[in-house]
Structures are given as structure tokens and as C-alpha cells.
Structure 1
């Protein structure tokens, strides 16, 4: 199984994760400042800035594209609950 190196700039921590892992899964475990309000009905709160490695993430789904647009997200922003790591090196931080 392919792995990726996922770095969270806000807590200066890099972890190896299996391909297919969603960023929010790891963010929760390591205490990164990437938060989410999905369970409270606040979609878009897990907005995450991809500092490096955008090409190593899954393509945004139609739902993710819509939420990003509604939140006026930048070109390097993604939803941590939606995007999956595919491999390589990725650096993220809370948006």
C-alpha cells in the first residue's frame, strides 16, 4: 500500500499515512488546529490551506467544489474532511 508524508505546519509534525487517508482523520489524532463542524451542520469549517503537494491529493468532488466556492476559498484551499492523500509529500495548515 502506498504511503504519503503529511506535514501539519501549525504543530510542526510530519506523519506517514496510507494512501486514501483523509486529512481530517490525522488532524484530529495529532491535535492540529484544523477543526470541523460537520457534526454540528457547519460545512466548510475544516477549510485547509495546502502549502505544498496539491498534486498529491484527490481531485475535489462536486460537493467539495461547491462548498469551497460558497466559502470564497482560495486556489490552494481544500476541505480536510473531503480530500484524500494519494502519496508523496503534502504540507497543510489551517486556512
Structure 2
């Protein structure tokens, strides 16, 4: 199984995770400041900033893009419940 490094900047912790895992699955277990409400990509509470490795996350879906726009998210923001880790990435709460 392929692995990648996922770093949570707010708690200064880097983990090796399976490729394909959603960021929220890991942040929830670690107590990162990335919070969530629904896990389905339609509320926007799990908005996070991608500090490094933007291209190492899954492609933004139509649903995620809609929520990002509705929340006036910045250029390097994603929803942790939708973003899958494909390679090394560093994230922090938005």
C-alpha cells in the first residue's frame, strides 16, 4: 500500500498515512484544529489551508468547488472531508 506524509502545521505533527485517506479521518483522531460538522462536503466547517503539497491532494469535485465558493475560500483552501491525500502535504486550520 502506498504511503504519504501528512503534516498538521497547527499541532506540529507529521504522520505517514495511506494514500487515498481523507484529511478529516486523520485530523479528527489527532485533535487538530480542523473541525467538521457533516463529513459530506456540503457544510464547509472543515475548511483547511493547504500550506504545502497542493498538487498532492485529490481533484476538487463539483460539490466541493460549490461549497468553497459559497464560503469565499482562498486560493489554497480545501474541505478536509473531501480532500484525499495522494502525496506529501502540509495543512492547517483555515
Q: 1:83 & 1:2 partners in 2: Cα distance?
A: 17
Residue 58 (structure 2) pairs with residue 58 (structure 1): yes
Structure 1 segments of 4 or more deviating over 6 A? none
Which residue of the partner structure matches residue 34 of structure 1?
34
Give the alignment's TM-score, normalised by structure 1.
Answer: 0.93
How many positions carry a matched residue from both structures? Answer: 92
- Is 1:44 aligned to residue 44 of structure 2? yes
Runs of 5+ consecutive residues of structure 2 not aligned to the other structure: none
When the two chains are superposed, the root-mean-square deviation of aligned CA atoms in Å is 1.1
Instruction: Give distance in 2, aligned partners of 1:86 and 1:80.
Output: 13
- Could you tell me how far apart the structure 1 residues matched to 2:37 and 2:69 are? 18
Listed as ranges, the gaps of 5+ residues in structure 1 are none
Query: Equivalent residue for 2:77?
Result: 77
Give the secondary structure class of the aligned counterpart of 1:38: coil
* Structure 2 length-normalised TM: 0.94
1:13-32 alignment, distance < 5 Å:
13-32=13-32
What is aligned with 2:91? Answer: 92
